[in-house]
Structure 1
């Protein structure tokens, strides 16, 4: 059986065995999963308990029972107080609820047991954020009335709570992890993808490619800002960070800066509107600076200024769509079509997220944006990857054409064009102070071989000559074929004598002649510039050529 067929058979058998092994494993694993009667080996989970029934509030000395949560209320007073009787506390250590930019005070009877607010003189401002509050409970509080004092600090929300739960710290941590597991996986993927895109950008920047590789930088920055915003807008920061205001500032900054790298990406894809897109980026940066100044001066809070950013985003979305549609119509750009489709998907999901924010501010506001972002990034990565592959193919093709233009096909050595370019550079730079040896080589009796045995025999001699020369000189110099039967070796290293190399070449020739029907013989000569003379490259070439003809005459017994 031929070797190739045997290898194909071995590969086929190996693949069949892989499939059989995988099927056996999955079959047995599935059987065990559905039929095993062993007890659960996982540790018991601590669960938090909903504590939403029995709450009430007082309005004009009238008791109002809260039927269900989420609960919100807007009334004349600036503070909403919710009441409940503290139940028996066995393994319960905390009462927890998600706060929405509200100052919180909790009392057990007349004792203040928890306070969530900032000092009026705090240089960090009064940004309270959207976080879970954990009110510690002790057994001595059992049976007492707990009162939650809620005071709204921003204008876009109303007093109220989404849910109230009882449980231990471990139960709440597990609850945060389980509720945000898919988000955490998404954030890790986005962060790693952003790092990969930055690495691709840096590699291409170091190589100084002519390809517009900055698109990888823009997509990576957009991914990183998106991940930062989604992380800071979730419950995950509470597992790592203790400073609520800092997380809020990160959230608002990353959200306001989010469109800037996207505009850069669109700018790189559009032939027109570049000045407009740059101006839009400047406006976004001014918006960030002004909002932070107003916040630091305590004139406005970020949630109140959020509609300004939303209006800017809606305006910019419209401008981007118009520019991309114009690009598609004028240039029929496939890339512009792809970006347009990606942005439309992201826009629809972003608008859905904005609507959800204004209708239900206490819910996960980044969920719809997350869905759109995954599709958006997938399309952009596809477009950028396709452009990069096309560029690399064109670059490889250009290198191949250049190699063909500078390489002698028969002998696989640099040709006369490559040699002339090298000599022109040496003429311009001069060889004074440069150790340089020029070796001239010429095949003997090539014409007679062609006339007697045909050009196929001459081609065999040329290939044998090139192989012999390269094997002898490849470690010290570059071999060129400059004519039908002429070769040149340029040695740019000092203290290199060609004589020992000629002996190696003669051994290579002798070995070739033992295997070939045709006799190979090469005339040789060289000239050397020690680096301390005033010779130029042309005089060196002429001297090497004369020495080669002397050797040819001595070898053949005649002179040309």
Structure 2
């Protein structure tokens, strides 16, 4: 490390210790009220339930489901006195699945929402979070939440109402299912990363399609989890859009799983599963079309879809298990992962039957999704590492077959194959040039100074050609003392520049090199091979006019032939 460098490092250290550290300490001692202070309070009791102005229950408790009573299309009102015993009540948070919502404080309209369901073809609402701002002095006044539903099922569902600051309510929302949003986003990001790995590193490999299939599975699961999270509505306010995303992911999930299984394992009846998997996206298109026509909605076919998906999944798992029993040992991780996923779904459905939804209700599916994806990802990762190692070995062996060991340039085999490629190429690459080089009197150099010095000369020629032409041309060592350069899309001006730059560079060396060139657009050669032969003849014609003119007494010390590299 130089003195200047050490001085800069020392000055930076002094700056950090003497200025920044005291600043951090001083700032950290400043007491500020956190925006997350305070709690969102759920007021469950003390509500009055009215329908079209008639009181049905003056001791209504939230949350609650009113059964055996169709309230669709009727004006349902929840009313309660805003408590004055709480401080920092600035907002009301509640969720509904109603087509119209209005909130009054006494007789003042504070909030209004209209899903415009009567003018839309798609008769879906979804579960929506409503944040209602309260004014100073609203404590002690009467809060009236007026609801109008369009379906009997949603008309009787009443959720908790939270009072508090907006930030406290957001925290309450995240504490309920924010973890689902995190898991969903993680799966989507992981899906993108998996697809990038497949396209950049595993292309043309055996597990390429399997990795892309896993990426699509992660995408479907991530979209499904995010769409079902209430926290997602903080960023995407259109709940109907989330419903469409969720349905798309659900219908495409069996296709992606089938794609993964068929790509990774040898199972019986492959065509049968391919056809059955395509049933789901086709059904999705049909259901979406019928929904646009106002015949049905996604919710109408949820149960038939769930049953079909359940039956198909277990049929597919049965085929994978059969393949495992017959020797397909690679299928074991998939069976284990699917077992965790099925168990989590069963656990989720069981907990959803409980009378009240809590944080724990939504965790089994999240945990199952993580385990499912982790097991499959571990299998893909293991096989991907093996594939990359095998490909690396093959590329190394191939490089040995096409690389000159002494100079690191392409060898004669690589040169011949490039000529064949040029002969088959289209008209865009018809203008190309070939230069052939030959070291004069290499045998005499070997005799006078030894083969080590002769090899040193060859390596120096290789480095010289690479420095001159390596950025735009391909360079080869095609014989003992012969080199060749192929320049694609080469015109007469570039060829003259290449010849001139070589003459200037070789003039500084203690040895001479003969060369000849040929240009396809100028010499009108019938083929790349005949163009090479023309350049070779011109090289030998020049070679006859040159000689090894470095006399023995003027030949420099062998070690000075190349000041960059010395033989060991």
Superposition TM-score, scaled by structure 1 size: 0.71
Q: Does 1:283 align with 2:283?
A: no
Does structure 1 conserve the Cα–Cα contact (< 8 Å) formed by 2:207 and 2:380? Answer: no
Specify the SS of the correspondent of 1:258.
helix
Q: Distance in 2 between matches of 1:286 and 1:148?
A: 40
Specify the SS of the correspondent of 2:68.
coil
| Shift of residue 547, structure 1, vs aligned partner | 3.3
Q: Which residue number in structure 2 is paired with residue 306 of structure 1?
A: 302
Greater Cα shift, 40-49 or 183-192: 40-49
Does structure 1 conserve the Cα–Cα contact (< 8 Å) formed by 2:36 and 2:171? Answer: no
| Shift of residue 128, structure 1, vs aligned partner | 3.1
Q: Which residue number in structure 1 is paired with residue 378 of structure 2?
A: 382
| Shift of residue 306, structure 1, vs aligned partner | 1.3
Go from structure 1 to structure 2 and tell me whether the alpha carbon gap of 1:447 and 1:83 turns closer, same or farther (over 3 Å shift).
closer
Go from structure 1 to structure 2 and tell me whether the alpha carbon gap of 1:532 and 1:300 turns closer, same or farther (over 3 Å shift).
closer
Does structure 1 conserve the Cα–Cα contact (< 8 Å) formed by 2:101 and 2:114? Answer: yes
Does structure 1 conserve the Cα–Cα contact (< 8 Å) formed by 2:436 and 2:482? Answer: no
Q: Distance in 1 between matches of 2:532 and 2:147?
A: 96
Question: Aligned match of 1:394 in 390, 396, 402?
Answer: 390
Does structure 2 conserve the Cα–Cα contact (< 8 Å) formed by 1:415 and 1:481? Answer: yes
Q: Which residue number in structure 1 is paired with residue 412 of structure 2?
A: 416
Q: Which residue number in structure 1 is paired with residue 522 of structure 2?
A: 532
Does structure 2 conserve the Cα–Cα contact (< 8 Å) formed by 1:98 and 1:162? Answer: yes
Q: Distance in 2 between matches of 1:158 and 1:362?
A: 18
* C-alpha distance after superposition, 1:510-560 (max 9, x if no partner): 3xxxxxxxxxx7774646568534563465266247537746888799xxx
Q: Distance in 2 between matches of 1:538 and 1:143?
A: 97
Q: Distance in 2 between matches of 1:116 and 1:381?
A: 44
Q: Which residue number in structure 2 is paired with residue 189 of structure 1?
A: 186
| Shift of residue 311, structure 1, vs aligned partner | 0.8
Q: Which residue number in structure 1 is paired with residue 468 of structure 2?
A: 475
Q: Distance in 2 between matches of 1:527 and 1:83?
A: 93
Does structure 1 conserve the Cα–Cα contact (< 8 Å) formed by 2:217 and 2:256? Answer: yes
Go from structure 1 to structure 2 and tell me whether the alpha carbon gap of 1:120 and 1:525 turns closer, same or farther (over 3 Å shift).
closer
Q: Does 1:236 align with 2:215?
A: no
Does structure 1 conserve the Cα–Cα contact (< 8 Å) formed by 2:101 and 2:145? Answer: no
Q: Does 1:49 align with 2:41?
A: yes
Does structure 2 conserve the Cα–Cα contact (< 8 Å) formed by 1:523 and 1:555? Answer: no
Does structure 2 conserve the Cα–Cα contact (< 8 Å) formed by 1:86 and 1:143? Answer: yes
Q: Distance in 2 between matches of 1:42 and 1:266?
A: 50
Specify the SS of the correspondent of 1:439.
strand
| Shift of residue 113, structure 1, vs aligned partner | 8.4
Go from structure 1 to structure 2 and tell me whether the alpha carbon gap of 1:366 and 1:506 turns closer, same or farther (over 3 Å shift).
same
For 1:168-317, what aligned pairs fall within 5 Å after superposition?
169-200=166-197, 203=200, 209-210=204-205, 212-272=207-267, 273-317=269-313
Q: Which residue number in structure 2 is paired with residue 99 of structure 1?
A: 96
Q: Which residue number in structure 1 is paired with residue 316 of structure 2?
A: 320
Does structure 1 conserve the Cα–Cα contact (< 8 Å) formed by 2:40 and 2:162? Answer: yes
* C-alpha distance after superposition, 1:154-201 (max 9, x if no partner): 55x783434344445454334224434433433443343334344445
Q: Which residue number in structure 1 is paired with residue 455 of structure 2?
A: 462
| Shift of residue 382, structure 1, vs aligned partner | 2.7
Superposition TM-score, scaled by structure 2 size: 0.70
Q: Which residue number in structure 2 is paired with residue 11 of structure 1?
A: none
CA root-mean-square deviation? 5.1
Q: Distance in 2 between matches of 1:552 and 1:330?
A: 74
Greater Cα shift, 133-142 or 262-271: 133-142
Q: Distance in 2 between matches of 1:382 and 1:276?
A: 28
Q: Which residue number in structure 2 is paired with residue 440 of structure 1?
A: 438
Go from structure 1 to structure 2 and tell me whether the alpha carbon gap of 1:547 and 1:372 turns closer, same or farther (over 3 Å shift).
same
Query: 5+ unaligned residues in a row in structure 1: which ranges?
Result: 4-20, 511-520
Q: Distance in 2 between matches of 1:116 and 1:478?
A: 69
Go from structure 1 to structure 2 and tell me whether the alpha carbon gap of 1:87 and 1:526 turns closer, same or farther (over 3 Å shift).
closer
Specify the SS of the correspondent of 1:412.
coil
Q: Which residue number in structure 2 is paired with residue 355 of structure 1?
A: 350
Q: Which residue number in structure 2 is paired with residue 8 of structure 1?
A: none
Does structure 2 conserve the Cα–Cα contact (< 8 Å) formed by 1:423 and 1:537? Answer: no
Go from structure 1 to structure 2 and tell me whether the alpha carbon gap of 1:552 and 1:342 turns closer, same or farther (over 3 Å shift).
same
Q: Which residue number in structure 1 is paired with residue 399 of structure 2?
A: 403
Q: Does 1:344 align with 2:339?
A: yes
Does structure 1 conserve the Cα–Cα contact (< 8 Å) formed by 2:44 and 2:63? Answer: no
Q: Does 1:86 align with 2:81?
A: yes
* C-alpha distance after superposition, 1:389-439 (max 9, x if no partner): 333333332222122112232343433323443455567789997544433
Size of the aligned set, in residue pairs, is 508
Q: Distance in 2 between matches of 1:203 and 1:552?
A: 51
Does structure 1 conserve the Cα–Cα contact (< 8 Å) formed by 2:71 and 2:152? Answer: no
Q: Which residue number in structure 1 is paired with residue 6 of structure 2?
A: none
For 1:109-120, what aligned pairs fall within 5 Å after superposition?
none
Q: Does 1:121 align with 2:113?
A: no
Does structure 2 conserve the Cα–Cα contact (< 8 Å) formed by 1:263 and 1:277? Answer: yes
Q: Which residue number in structure 2 is paired with residue 495 of structure 1?
A: 496
| Shift of residue 314, structure 1, vs aligned partner | 0.9
Go from structure 1 to structure 2 and tell me whether the alpha carbon gap of 1:297 and 1:66 turns closer, same or farther (over 3 Å shift).
farther
